[in-house]
Structure 1
Amino acid sequence: MMTEKPWFERQLKFGYEPELLPYFLVRLEGTPVRIKTMVQSLNEQQLSHKPNGKWSIKENIGHLAEVDAIANKRIDEMLAQAPVLAPAVFEPQNYNPWPLKEVIALFQQNREKNLKKYQSLSVDDLRQASLHPRLKVLMTPVDLAWFDAEHDDHHLVKIKTILQSVTT
């Protein structure tokens, strides 16, 4: 069985050039589609199953929507030349009672808003950097796009693991 490295233990590298942004945006664009494909045949019980008290599939998707809302604010902070980004503060939601369509719609809406914002940025905008409060590294919008794409993949793995446990 493969092991997973916990998100907060990962060693992340930053300093990506603006020319790499299109590659990161394609990954970000694809996550909602990948999620829909993964979960389309699951029932409510499977979607809300919390293995060992951890997040359910719906909660993972809802979390990605929340992260996108924070990313949107962080892009604005970078453009305003904030020396330090505001910390990521989440107000935990229980997404399990929500219909799957609504959780995915929230995620898609937040994601599309970010993608439009990224696509509107100039090369100078993409070079604006602010200090990430937890990681203590300078981060540009390009780095943030990469970071969020990596974070998406982390949660896609979590969703796949839950999916495998509820369908076998």
Structure 2
Amino acid sequence: MRRTKWFEREFDFSLPVGVFPCVVERLRGTPARLEELVRSLPPRVLTARRGNSWSIQEHVGHLIDLDELHEGRLEALSEAAVAASALHPRLGKQMRVIDMALFVAEHDDHHLATITELGRNFTIADFGLRNAD
């Protein structure tokens, strides 16, 4: 199945504020899911690139940078703060804090899916490896 490109995605920001703790929990799980995806991949797979596309290692670095940026900030917010909104510059939409958290979670999942795809494709096609051995 062909995945929709990130910049082609459309988002529906209609979650009730009460779902915010679940979205934060999803974000909290990203580092563990990321570690699980890359733990057994050899360095040559982690750093392999196709054309100008990012390597798995570059995707990992991008996610780590963003995780450090958001870490701990979301959990301390009040319900009123979670419901507050501002205009997202690229999307041109009003977004509440819960919407932004969902957007970040979707972004993380997009990169995790890309890492899964790259790991599978590089492992099999380019290195003749099975199960990233």
Q: Give 5+ residue unaligned stretches, structure 1.
A: 69-106
Of residues 72, 88, 91 in structure 2, which corresponds to 1:132?
88
1 CA distance for matches of 2:38 and 2:53?
Answer: 18
Report the equivalent of 1:122: 78
- State which of 101, 107, 113 in structure 2 corresponds to 1:151: 107
Identity of aligned residues (%): 36
CA distance in 2, matches of 1:29, 1:149: 9
CA RMSD of aligned residues (A): 1.4
Report what 1:76 is aligned to: none
The number of residues matched between the two structures is: 124
Q: CA deviation at 1:116?
A: 1.8
After superposition, give the CA deviation of every residue in 1:78-117 in whole Å (9 maximum; x if it has no partner): xxxxxxxxxxxxxxxxxxxxxxxxxxxxx5xx0xx62421
Output the amino acid matched with 1:40.
Answer: R
Shift of 1:148: 0.5
Amino acid at match of 1:126: V
TM-score (norm 2): 0.86
Which residue identity lines up with residue 151 of structure 1 in the other structure? Answer: H
> Please, which runs of 5 or more residues in structure 2 have no aligned partner?
125-133
Question: Any idea what the Cα deviations from partners look like across 1:17-41, whole Å, max 9, x if unmatched?
Answer: 2211111112111111111111111
- Give yes or no for the alignment of 1:15 onto 2:14: yes
Cα contact 1:31–1:152 (8 A) shared by 2: yes
Does 1:31 find its partner at 2:30? yes
Aligned to 2:40: 41
Amino acid at match of 1:150: E
Report if the CA contact (8 A) 1:131-1:137 is conserved: yes
Richer in helix (by share): 1
**C-alpha contact (below 8 Å) 1:15/1:139 kept by paired residues:** no
- Residue 91 of structure 1 aligns with which residue? none
Quote the Cα distance in structure 2 between the aligned partners of 1:127 and 1:45: 45
